[in-house]
Structure 1
Amino acid sequence: MAIRSLITNHLRNNSYCHKLQFEARNLFKSLSPISKASTKYKYIHSSSSSSRLETEILRLKSPSRVLQDWINNGNKVKLSQLNLICKQLLKSKRYKQALEILQWMENQNNFRITPGHHALMMELIVKVHGLNKAGEYFERIPGSGSKKAASLPLLHGYVKERDISKAESFMIKLSSSGLLVTPHPYNEMMKLYMALSQYEKVPLVIAEMKRNKLCRNVLSYNLWMGAFGEVFEVAKAEMVYKEMVIDENVEVGWSTLASLANVYIKAGFVDKALLVLKDAEMKLSTNGRLGYFFLITLYSSLKNKEGVLRLWEASKAVGGRIPCADYMCVISCLVKVGDLVAAEQVFAEWETNCFKYDIRVSNVLLGAYVRNGLMGKAESFHLHTVERGGCPNYKTWEILMEGWVKSQKMDKAIDAMKKGFSVLKVERCDWRPSHSILMAIAEHFEKHGNFEDANHYIKAVHGLGVATLPLYKLFLRMYLSAQRPAWDILKMMEKDRIELDDETSALVALNS
């Protein structure tokens, strides 16, 4: 389910992301000096000069200062230089520096600033300075064309933050300004309503599009259909599909058929889902992998191992290397349909072909062994991955920790926990171990009176923000029984704003 959710989100954002990627690739091609005669920044042909400017900016320096110094020293600036530098900055996620270059260009009054430029500027301002600054920038953008282009990244920002009030207000502003001329803003609003489970609002968006005589695109229909699927209104979802079939402006592809199949799966209409999935397979091409793996996840939801394996083999016709994420997807789906042997075979195939040992792939199979109670196999598999060059991450240790707790091998569980905590000091992640596992380890410390490890444990759990009232209560009892002061525990409880029940209040009073 988690994998299908990730791919669904990818599909929902597909048109928006592709639009921004296209703008990023072609921005500087579309920017040109207002006139060659009027600009002092003439084109030059010195590759060494271009390389020096790029090197200066990429050394984590302020781009605007470097550019100004460059000009003051009698050098020239050409668009291809800025194009290359900005691409490098975006590739390395140095959005602030990329934005600074674009702002420098905008302030020179020597370049024609296109709508695509304003759209990319808006995207970067949202990333670097936040939505408030982005909203202020939008008000300063001249021309309806540029405002229209910049409106989508800003609206997407509101949707991403799930700020329904600002998103709806912004849509009203765009409508009154005559800037709602494509389906993209409406699709963003439907994504927002879907994310907030306000499914009843999605048909209202479609109705507004029809009133404004705006064509729906594939994503519009998929979201509309999906909204009915979420509330199990299968007949209405089928009505949407039939309307799409006769719409000459769109073509029914695998994504729409997959959306319809998902509606059937949620409603329990297995036979209908399988028929639609067969049709969806006929729409796949060898130009991309996404469709294959979306259908694979749907087949796994139906416990249809044959469909999973068929699509996996068919996906190999797509050119290029198979990414780790696709191996993770198919291994997870084979685990889901209960075929560990096939999952192991796919893993062995990945292991044979991989250039770099990605521990996330082996974690999928490791988790399957643990969930099936195969701790001996899990332990030997873990040792194998380490020998092959895999570097365990926090998830690896979490999986092993849970397995050892369930197997009552608490010493091994605590060892895995300690190694996991050491990894967390380096990795930035949002670790959320289950409450039952956290309590089991705490109860082990209480049973054996292991105060030193217990103290490190509660501090680490508190630092992760996952400490709960039952956990704190256990440690208060532990410290009270040993007649030790629990001031640190009480401070952590206060910081976590833990609401006390009667039993905890009594323990706090006894520890005071």
Structure 2
Amino acid sequence: MAAQATEKLARPTARLVREALYRRLFKGGTSERSVGGEINKWLKDSRRFKKWDVGKSVKDLRKRKLFNPALKLLETATRRGMNLTVSDQAIHLDLISKTKGIVAAEKYFMDLPEPSKNHLSYGALLNCYCKEKMTENAEALLEKMKELNFASSPMEYNSLMTLYSETGKPEKIPAVIQDMKANEVMPDVFSYNVWMRSLAAVGDIPGVERVLDEMKRDGRVGADWTTYSNLASIYVDAGMNDKAEKALKELENRMDLHCLPAFQYLITLYGRTGNLVEVYRVWRSLKLAFPKTVNLSYLNMIQVLVKLGDISGAENCFKEWEAGCSTYDIRLPNVLIGAYAKANRLRKAEAMRERARKRGAAPNTKTWEIFADYYLRTKQIDEVVKCIENAISASRKSVKVKWLPTKETVEAVMTYFEEQKDVDGAENFFEILKKVECVDSAVYESLIRTYFVAGKNSPAMRRRLKMENIEVAPEAEKLLDTVCSQ
């Protein structure tokens, strides 16, 4: 009875749950600025920290990739006396790596007291190395973990295998599997799936099927829907559509009817086999299972229909989404804008852009990229430059990664101005690129050539190169004497 009473007291009351930080964090939006402001307000108002509240909030922030606010909350709570468990310390290490870099994460790990250097903190550091593609560090750390008997689960080996997969070294993955087995660590579903993909990457489809057979024989691990999604994707890549569709039928047999990702994988993979009938069948099933169909599902369906060339079907699906959507997601109009632009239907693409704008969805970097590609293909370079400028402006309003034009696009635009002997156009474009630090030696060399072919001078060109610490190729260096002459 006493234990039950203590447990009851430890639980948060209904009022506390309603007022909890994690309930307040996202009421003003999900941007890092709004969440950070809510945390600052809460820190100022709150005298005491409730560990369950901080833990839940940090978890939610990490899920939404709001790593800076998560780190601030955790570190402030620690300074105010909240004791970190070894699990909290592993999370702390991961957040430091994501916000301050791997060197800071390594220092945090080294400064941990020895009792805290356990399988969790070692595993967190290993995961950081794998995320940063630091192969040698990851390999060395895993060996150390083996010596300390800290590599006792598939998780550590899975991290290394994922690293090999992402760095183009699939041939190294079977050896990791054998190493796992030698150390009496048995593969889990993820291990089998990444093993299958590694064999597919080197063209060993029979090997993939042998791994599947081994998985079926393994009494501990059951092949779930993700296994058959993985298998179907492998068969599609190998051009074996009949086998892919059999795998997809098996996927349907094993999936939970309330698992949205499974439905979306089915639609995508049936689309990749070119089976439009099955795409529509699964789409109808998805909508029955999820009457409030989310934007992401409509986005996936419209993308698949466009890839299959069913533009009218994509338009109907878009209208259905538009009629019932609560948030007007620019990604959906972008799919149709891209389809129209590819088909040289510029007016329809522009009309769709304006339609989205009127519904409150401003064009984003992808929107302007699509139009830039169209104008580049149709040799309307002045319009390309405007689109790039608009994309840069849209990028600045986003909290995501800064947008930059591709090197191929920059080269094509600079080459055009060079061919047209258009110094003013080249300089204008140069200034746009400079705003996003997208100026390198290739851009300068093209600018120098433009001045040269136009017969114009720029006495300050050498100074500009020096200020930017840019070295140009010998051919461009030879032209500088003429370009820089008074």
Please give the range of the TM-score, normalised by the shorter of the 2 chains.
0.7 to 0.9
Deviates more, 1:223-232 or 1:92-101: 92-101
2:485 aligned with 1:510: no
Counterpart for residue 207 of structure 2: 236
Counterpart for residue 451 of structure 2: 479
Give matches, 1:361-380, under 5 Å. 361-380=332-351
Alpha-carbon deviation of 1:86? 5.0
Counterpart for residue 154 of structure 1: 125
Alpha-carbon deviation of 1:208? 1.1
Contact 1:95 1:128 survives alignment (8 Å): no
Within 2, Cα distance between the matches of 1:127 and 1:169?
Answer: 21
Within 2, Cα distance between the matches of 1:410 and 1:129?
Answer: 40
- 1:248-273 Cα shifts (integer Å, max 9, x gaps): 11111111112122222222222222
Q: 2:305 aligns with which of 334, 355, 377?
A: 334
Within 2, Cα distance between the matches of 1:456 and 1:376?
Answer: 28
Within 1, Cα distance between the matches of 2:470 and 2:340?
Answer: 38
Counterpart for residue 31 of structure 2: none
Which aligned segments of 4 or more residues in structure 1 are displaced greater than 6 angstroms?
Answer: 43-47, 62-67
Within 2, Cα distance between the matches of 1:315 and 1:51?
Answer: 34
- Judged with a 3 Å threshold, the aligned counterparts in structure 2 of structure 1 residues 209 and 81 are, in CA distance, closer, same or farther, namely closer
Is the partner of 2:367 in helix, strand or coil?
helix
Unaligned runs of 5+ in 2: 1-5, 26-35
Within 1, Cα distance between the matches of 2:335 and 2:92?
Answer: 39
Contact 1:344 1:365 survives alignment (8 Å): yes
- Judged with a 3 Å threshold, the aligned counterparts in structure 2 of structure 1 residues 441 and 63 are, in CA distance, closer, same or farther, namely same
- Judged with a 3 Å threshold, the aligned counterparts in structure 2 of structure 1 residues 117 and 225 are, in CA distance, closer, same or farther, namely same
Contact 1:63 1:101 survives alignment (8 Å): no
Q: 2:283 aligns with which of 291, 307, 312?
A: 312
Alpha-carbon deviation of 1:496? 7.3
The count of residues paired between Structure 1 and Structure 2 equals 457
Q: Which amino acid aligns with 1:104?
A: R
Counterpart for residue 323 of structure 1: 294
Alpha-carbon deviation of 1:59? 6.1
Q: 2:366 aligns with which of 350, 375, 395?
A: 395
Unaligned runs of 5+ in 1: 1-32, 37-42, 71-75
Contact 1:476 1:489 survives alignment (8 Å): no
Alpha-carbon deviation of 1:421? 3.6
Q: 2:464 aligns with which of 488, 491, 499?
A: 491
2:156 aligned with 1:181: no
Counterpart for residue 212 of structure 1: 183
Contact 1:472 1:493 survives alignment (8 Å): no
Give matches, 1:111-150, under 5 Å. 113-139=84-110, 140-143=112-115, 147-150=118-121
Give matches, 1:183-332, under 5 Å. 183-319=154-290, 321-332=292-303
Alpha-carbon deviation of 1:200? 1.7
Within 1, Cα distance between the matches of 2:60 and 2:263?
Answer: 32
Within 2, Cα distance between the matches of 1:380 and 1:63?
Answer: 45
Alpha-carbon deviation of 1:348? 1.4
TM-score by length of 2: 0.81
- Which structure has more RCO (C-alpha within 8 Å, separation ≥ 6)? 1
Within 2, Cα distance between the matches of 1:212 and 1:338?
Answer: 51
Give matches, 1:13-92, under 5 Å. 70=47, 78-80=50-52, 82-83=54-55
Within 2, Cα distance between the matches of 1:278 and 1:130?
Answer: 44
Is the partner of 1:316 in helix, strand or coil?
helix
Q: Which amino acid aligns with 1:99?
A: L
Contact 1:99 1:125 survives alignment (8 Å): no
Within 2, Cα distance between the matches of 1:409 and 1:385?
Answer: 24
Alpha-carbon deviation of 1:452? 4.4
Q: Which amino acid aligns with 1:181?
A: S
Within 1, Cα distance between the matches of 2:13 and 2:243?
Answer: 64
- Judged with a 3 Å threshold, the aligned counterparts in structure 2 of structure 1 residues 58 and 506 are, in CA distance, closer, same or farther, namely closer
Deviates more, 1:417-426 or 1:198-207: 417-426
Deviates more, 1:317-326 or 1:383-392: 317-326
Alpha-carbon deviation of 1:391? 0.4
- Judged with a 3 Å threshold, the aligned counterparts in structure 2 of structure 1 residues 199 and 448 are, in CA distance, closer, same or farther, namely closer
- Judged with a 3 Å threshold, the aligned counterparts in structure 2 of structure 1 residues 99 and 51 are, in CA distance, closer, same or farther, namely closer
Q: 1:171 aligns with which of 122, 137, 142?
A: 142
- Judged with a 3 Å threshold, the aligned counterparts in structure 2 of structure 1 residues 486 and 353 are, in CA distance, closer, same or farther, namely farther
Q: Which amino acid aligns with 2:136?
A: S
Within 2, Cα distance between the matches of 1:342 and 1:493?
Answer: 56
Within 1, Cα distance between the matches of 2:213 and 2:405?
Answer: 45
Deviates more, 1:196-205 or 1:441-450: 441-450
- Judged with a 3 Å threshold, the aligned counterparts in structure 2 of structure 1 residues 125 and 507 are, in CA distance, closer, same or farther, namely same
- 1:303-348 Cα shifts (integer Å, max 9, x gaps): 2222332322222244474333332222222111111111112211
- Judged with a 3 Å threshold, the aligned counterparts in structure 2 of structure 1 residues 331 and 501 are, in CA distance, closer, same or farther, namely farther
Q: Which amino acid aligns with 1:361?
A: L
Within 2, Cα distance between the matches of 1:254 and 1:45?
Answer: 38
Within 2, Cα distance between the matches of 1:44 and 1:352?
Answer: 41
What percentage of residue pairs aligned between the two structures are identical?
A: 27
- Judged with a 3 Å threshold, the aligned counterparts in structure 2 of structure 1 residues 58 and 377 are, in CA distance, closer, same or farther, namely closer
Deviates more, 1:226-235 or 1:210-219: 210-219
Is the partner of 1:278 in helix, strand or coil?
helix
Counterpart for residue 74 of structure 2: 99
Is the partner of 1:431 in helix, strand or coil?
coil
Contact 2:174 2:195 survives alignment (8 Å): yes
Deviates more, 1:442-451 or 1:391-400: 442-451
Q: Which amino acid aligns with 1:479?
A: Y
2:435 aligned with 1:460: no
Counterpart for residue 500 of structure 1: 473
- Judged with a 3 Å threshold, the aligned counterparts in structure 2 of structure 1 residues 290 and 493 are, in CA distance, closer, same or farther, namely farther
Q: Which amino acid aligns with 2:189?
A: V
Within 2, Cα distance between the matches of 1:327 and 1:245?
Answer: 35
Q: Which amino acid aligns with 2:429?
A: Y
